[in-house]
Amino acid sequence: MPAPHALRPESPRHRAGAALALAALLAAHGLPAAAGPAADAALAAERLMAEGRVAEAAAALRAAGFALLDRAPALGFAEVVLVEDAVTSYGAYTPRASARYAPGEPILVYVEPVGLAAVPQEDGSVVQGFVVDLVVSDGGGAVIASAPALVQGDVRGRRRAADFFVALSFDLTGLPPGRYRLESTMRDQNSARAGSFAVEIEVGG
């Protein structure tokens, strides 16, 4: 099976938004308001927003989100979507109308991973890296192909990336007609965290 490739994630585009009352959300779920550094940072964001210090409030809220992610037991995925065309920017994709593919047609998957660790560099930048393993199973659940460390990539920037994407292109030329499950496991290069996602496809005759 020819090796697929991943488009390099773009520089993250951060979505603007009002400060989130994280402490209120914690309380609504029966959790104490002082639940840790994430809750503390969210409360700081609320105070800053009340004072009209919008940029500082957004920075505090961002810190709250990262504080939570640094305690995550595994990677998560905000989006996993079969797409029509190659994706070149965050969130700008067209979902594929059908999971049926012609023999040899590439399978394009848009993924938004969440929870990758960030490693500070000597030059002041940060790096987040990942490796993707692929396992292909047939309609009966039997594994017919596997490719450890099939895709590797990283995100580098002056700030830790919050919103970024990975665009995977799998070339499964040679698969006979039938239904298949493509299960990918993404492993964080800088922590013990990992997570899996899968898509179901059909190769037509």
Q: How far apart are CA 176 and CA 106, in angstroms?
A: 14
Nearest Cα to Cα of residue 108 among 117, 118, 99, 120: 99
Q: Identify the residue with better confidence: 43 or 25.
A: 43
pLDDT tens-digit series, residues 110-167 = 999 999 999 999 999 999 999 999 999 999 999 999 999 999 999 889 988 878 899 9
67: helix, strand or coil: helix
The predicted structure's pLDDT at residue 102? 95
Q: Identify the residue with better confidence: 40 or 34.
A: 40
Read off the pLDDT of each residue in 22-51 and give the average, rounded to a whole number: 66
Q: Identify the residue with better confidence: 41 or 188.
A: 188
Q: What are phi and psi of 128, to 5 degrees?
A: -125, 125
Per-domain residue ranges of the chain: 5-14+73-203, 22-69
CA distances from 115 to 66, 101, 190 (A): 8, 32, 11
171: helix, strand or coil: coil
The predicted structure's pLDDT at residue 116? 94
Look over the chain and give the mean of its residue pLDDT values, rounded to a whole number: 83
pLDDT-derived band at 25 (thresholds 50, 70, 90) equals very low
Q: What are phi and psi of 48, to 5 degrees?
A: -65, -40
Indicate if the pLDDT at residue 60 is higher than 80.
yes
Read off the pLDDT of each residue in 20-30 and give the average, rounded to a whole number: 43
The CATH number of the domain covering residues in 5-14+73-203: 2.60.40.2550
For 140, residues 6+ apart whose C-beta sits below 8 A from its C-beta are: none
